[in-house]
């Protein structure tokens, strides 16, 4: 297999065109030729995209008033890039030398819903969810995959690859198929949902199921990319995060650029929280917004590497854990973007919390009962909100946006097991109150009417 050079833009050209340069998180140097696992050649830290002309005030800096108008106008446009909820904001993510390389599935453009029942229950009146599960492949990954696959096409790579708990792989496979690229997936065997595996296969990825966990899959892939010409598109790849920034931009646009007090994000490999934090900090720096929301990150109890990192080392060194949770999307014990996430917590003043399996299941069903389906990893946000309210970190008068990251059908098995009373050995009162098991009725109208009458007199559908 032939190797290509992972050269990014040369410095003077990048400055002239304002194309992204990659800067090391550790030593701060600009890295024109990152390693194949996309780290700094000097200190092996992760890289982040920076834009040379944004650093100095002047005519090349994005103009907030003009751009807010332009982005709004593009919503009327018939151009495929303007119809993408990522490329519509392309001035904030100039990563391509030539925009003709962009590969889009009309990603982004996801709804912001105001909650009512959950608002009453939590006491937070201004409570919203930004539903990123409404993306083309059913998860937020599409907003980052459109940018990284476009960059891969521009770089002229033939193969792209990722390790995944299922959503990244589904998304990568779809975008690679659109771009005409081959793709390799490493997944932990029997630890990803059937729905996600099906999507990944359908879009034509070469799928290797390894008898290990996600963290080990990613470690193995980091070695594979150094030995074979495949381009890593996990969230260690900074071009992914540039696309994922747009969830925050779109959220602000949907709120009429009124900045919420809190944004709550689930935490797994910590790319998404890093991207959302990066967007808000850039928008603040560039004058699009004058205040910053607190970005809080919520993890599942059995996969709380960042929580422990903050508690035990104050964010100085990663505390890895052996990950376990039924929210398989975030079954991650050694998150790659932990340092970026720590920076986001520090610079926005957000909290980092964990929630139990029971709390996740109840929160997910509560959202479902309000007509908002999501996958378990997304529901950690609502479960986390209750904790943050109890602690007084979130005040009932504040505005809160929770990021829902995946579609309810991503893990149908979890949903059925929950409602059939088989998800966990014990059900909390909150879980019981949302349980809605299917009812066995005889195949005649009389039997169905009996069911109807029973439920008319007894509306609650709790487990017996």
Smallest gap from Cβ 347 to ligand F0G, in A, equals: 18
For ligand F0G, the closer of residues 6 and 218 by Cβ is 218
Whether 4 and 155 have beta carbons less than 8 Å apart is answered as yes
For ligand F0G, the closer of residues 122 and 235 by Cβ is 235
3-state helix, strand, coil in the chain (%, to 5): 45, 15, 40
How far apart, in Å, are the Cα atoms of 230 and each of 47, 206, 225? 18, 12, 5
Whether 249 and 280 have beta carbons less than 8 Å apart is answered as no
Smallest gap from Cβ 65 to ligand F0G, in A, equals: 32
Closest by CA position to 132, among listed 250, 296, 221: 250
* CA–CA separation, 226 and 279 (whole Å): 30
* CA–CA separation, 314 and 325 (whole Å): 24
For ligand F0G, the closer of residues 19 and 342 by Cβ is 342
Whether 230 and 220 have beta carbons less than 8 Å apart is answered as no
Smallest gap from Cβ 377 to ligand F0G, in A, equals: 4
For ligand F0G, the closer of residues 135 and 399 by Cβ is 135
Collapsed DSSP state (helix, strand, coil) of residue 355: strand
Smallest gap from Cβ 16 to ligand F0G, in A, equals: 33
Smallest gap from Cβ 403 to ligand F0G, in A, equals: 8
Smallest gap from Cβ 297 to ligand F0G, in A, equals: 8
For ligand F0G, the closer of residues 217 and 252 by Cβ is 217
Q: Name 297's bridge partners.
A: 265, 352
Place of tokens 């790659």: 336
Residue 138: partners with Cβ closer than 8 Å, 6 or more residues away: 167, 170, 199, 406, 407, 409, 410
For ligand F0G, the closer of residues 83 and 274 by Cβ is 274
For ligand F0G, the closer of residues 14 and 225 by Cβ is 225
For ligand F0G, the closer of residues 195 and 406 by Cβ is 406
Whether 322 and 378 have beta carbons less than 8 Å apart is answered as no
Binding residues for ligand F0G, per CB under 6 A?
139, 164-168, 235, 266-273, 329-330, 375, 377-378, 405-406
- How many residues are there in the chain? 464
Smallest gap from Cβ 372 to ligand F0G, in A, equals: 14
Rounded to the nearest 10 degrees, what angle do helices 412-419 and 194-202 cross at? 160
* CA–CA separation, 71 and 252 (whole Å): 12
Q: Which two tokens stand for residue 376?
A: 């378990």
For ligand F0G, the closer of residues 334 and 378 by Cβ is 378
Smallest gap from Cβ 207 to ligand F0G, in A, equals: 13
Strand order in the sheet with 159-163: 206-210, 182-188, 159-163, 230-232
* CA–CA separation, 403 and 277 (whole Å): 12
Burial class (CB in 10 A: 0-12, 13-18, 19+), 156: exposed
Smallest gap from Cβ 159 to ligand F0G, in A, equals: 18
How far apart, in Å, are the Cα atoms of 245 and each of 108, 109, 237, 258, 442? 11, 13, 14, 17, 52
* Alpha helix ranges (H) inside 156-213: 167-179, 194-202
For ligand F0G, the closer of residues 167 and 296 by Cβ is 167
For ligand F0G, the closer of residues 173 and 259 by Cβ is 173
* CA–CA separation, 331 and 196 (whole Å): 15
Smallest gap from Cβ 58 to ligand F0G, in A, equals: 34
Smallest gap from Cβ 370 to ligand F0G, in A, equals: 19
Smallest gap from Cβ 108 to ligand F0G, in A, equals: 16
For ligand F0G, the closer of residues 110 and 378 by Cβ is 378
Secondary element (H or E) of residue 357: helix 357-369
Q: Which two tokens stand for residue 126?
A: 């201004």
How many C-beta neighbours within 10 Å does residue 158 have?
14
């Amino acid at each position: 297999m032939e190797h290509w050079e992972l050269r990014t833009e040369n410095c003077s050209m990048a400055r002239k065109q304002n194309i992204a340069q990659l800067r090391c998180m550790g030593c701060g140097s600009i890295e024109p030729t990152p390693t194949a696992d996309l780290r700094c050649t000097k200190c092996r830290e992760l890289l982040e995209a920076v834009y040379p002309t944004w650093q100095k005030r002047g005519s090349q800096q994005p103009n907030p008033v003009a751009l807010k108008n332009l982005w709004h106008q593009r919503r009327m446009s018939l151009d495929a890039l303007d119809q993408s909820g990522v490329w519509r904001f392309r001035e904030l993510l100039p990563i391509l030398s030539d925009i003709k390389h962009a590969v889009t599935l009309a990603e982004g453009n996801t709804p912001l819903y105001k909650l009512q029942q959950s608002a009453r229950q939590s006491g937070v009146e201004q409570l919203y969810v930004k539903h990123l599960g409404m993306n083309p492949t059913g998860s937020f990954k599409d907003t980052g995959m459109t940018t990284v696959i476009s960059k891969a096409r521009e770089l002229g790579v033939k193969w792209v690859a990722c390790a995944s708990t299922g959503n990244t792989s589904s998304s990568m496979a779809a975008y690679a198929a659109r771009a005409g690229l081959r793709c390799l997936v490493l997944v932990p065997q029997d630890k990803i949902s059937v729905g996600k595996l099906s999507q990944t296969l359908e879009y034509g990825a070469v799928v290797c199921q390894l008898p290990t966990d996600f963290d080990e899959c990613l470690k193995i892939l980091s070695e594979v990319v150094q030995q074979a010409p495949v381009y890593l598109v996990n969230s260690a790849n900074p071009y992914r995060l540039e696309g994922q920034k747009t969830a925050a931009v779109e959220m602000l646009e949907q709120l009429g650029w009124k900045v919420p007090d809190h944004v709550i994000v689930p935490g797994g490999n910590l790319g998404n929280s890093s991207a959302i934090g990066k967007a808000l900090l850039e928008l603040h720096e560039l004058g699009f917004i004058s205040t910053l929301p607190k970005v809080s990150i919520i993890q599942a109890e059995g996969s709380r590497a960042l929580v422990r990192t903050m508690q035990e080392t104050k964010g100085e060194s990663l505390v890895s854990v052996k990950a376990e949770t039924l929210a398989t999307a975030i079954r991650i014990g050694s998150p790659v973007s932990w340092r970026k996430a720590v920076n986001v917590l520090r610079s926005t003043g957000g909290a980092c919390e964990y929630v139990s399996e029971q709390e996740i299941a109840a929160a997910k069903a509560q959202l479902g009962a309000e007509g908002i389906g999501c996958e378990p990893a997304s529901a950690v946000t609502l479960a986390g909100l209750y904790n943050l309210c109890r602690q007084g970190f979130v005040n009932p008068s504040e505005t809160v946006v929770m990021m829902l990251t995946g579609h309810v059908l991503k893990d149908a098995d979890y949903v059925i097991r929950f409602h059939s009373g088989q998800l966990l050995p014990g059900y909390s009162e909150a879980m019981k109150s949302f349980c809605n098991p299917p009812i066995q009725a005889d195949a005649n109208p009389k039997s169905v009417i009996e069911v109807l009458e029973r439920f008319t007199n007894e509306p609650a559908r709790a487990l017996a």
